[in-house]
Amino acid sequence: MRLQVEVLADAREIGRRGADVVAGELLAGRLRVLGVATGSSPLQVYESLAARDLPGWDGVEVFALDEYVGLPAGDRASYADVVDREVRAPLGVDPARVHVPDGRADDLDAACDAYEQALVAAGGVDVQVLGIGATGHIGFNEPGSPFSSRTRVVELTPRTVADNARFFASADDVPRRAITQGIATIARARRHVLIARGEGKAEAVRAALEGEVAPDCPASALRTFEDVLVLLDPAAASLLTRSPARAVGAG
């Protein structure tokens, strides 16, 4: 396994570095499936990719990590809308190849199973872009999520609801439930690029990289994955006690 941590000056540098990884896979013909996080952390990766005007995006499948339960179609805060706006349109991905869990399904459990099957049918994710929540979540796998978890309906923690209120008119409008890929689902990707910026992420980053590898910090599961690149700004890296420039493995 390989887990590499890099501290870069700012969002722009992080975006460029993350885009280098994705573009490298695309140009080498190894990017059949891209896994995307929404939220603010990876936006500059998508922007940097779009600015490169790369060929071949129309053949790439895109899978989102998660979706809120119960938002109406077309809601700007729904991850279906965010992925359409921030990833599909700027990159020129075929709309038929974009997959987001169906948070409006009558049978949510069946929608979760269907999403797992769609991931398998697509051949698995080649590069998964991740953010991390202040709770240590990846996707919406909040603390306590088993490392064996698959795509399922979850409850968001009050902290996550508060943190994501900025994308809604008020905290009351943030759905309390979501569908998320599980930790075991996310783990299957061939490569992962996790991005964290700002002081608010520093403790979660420390717990993920230097704390116990346990469901208390879902992102600590990264240390069991095959090939992980963690991109941090100085504020997000500020509580790390080991040299972040070197590889940090599970042991």
Q: Please identify which residue in 40, 153, 213, 238 interacts with ligand F6R, judged by CB under 6 A.
A: 40
Q: Please identify which residue in 138, 174, 179, 217 interacts with ligand F6R, judged by CB under 6 A.
A: 138
Dist. CA 68–CA 206, nearest whole Å: 27
Nearest-approach distance from CB 158 to ligand F6R, in angstroms:
14
Contact 223, 206 (CB under 8 A): no
**Binding status of residue 39 toward ligand F6R by CB under 6 A:** yes
Q: How many angstroms separate the first and last alpha carbons of the chain?
A: 10
**Binding status of residue 175 toward ligand F6R by CB under 6 A:** no
In the bound state with ligand F6R, the residue whose beta carbon lies nearer, of 3 and 164, is: 164
Position with the least CB separation from ligand F6R: 131
Footprint of ligand F6R on 55-84 (CB under 6 A): 65-66
Dist. CA 124–CA 118, nearest whole Å: 9
Instruction: Identify the CA nearest to 128 among candidates 45, 232, 236.
Output: 45
Footprint of ligand F6R on 98-137 (CB under 6 A): 131-133, 137
Instruction: Identify the CA nearest to 174 among candidates 187, 190, 157.
Output: 157
Nearest-approach distance from CB 11 to ligand F6R, in angstroms:
11
Contact 240, 233 (CB under 8 A): no
In the bound state with ligand F6R, the residue whose beta carbon lies nearer, of 27 and 171, is: 171
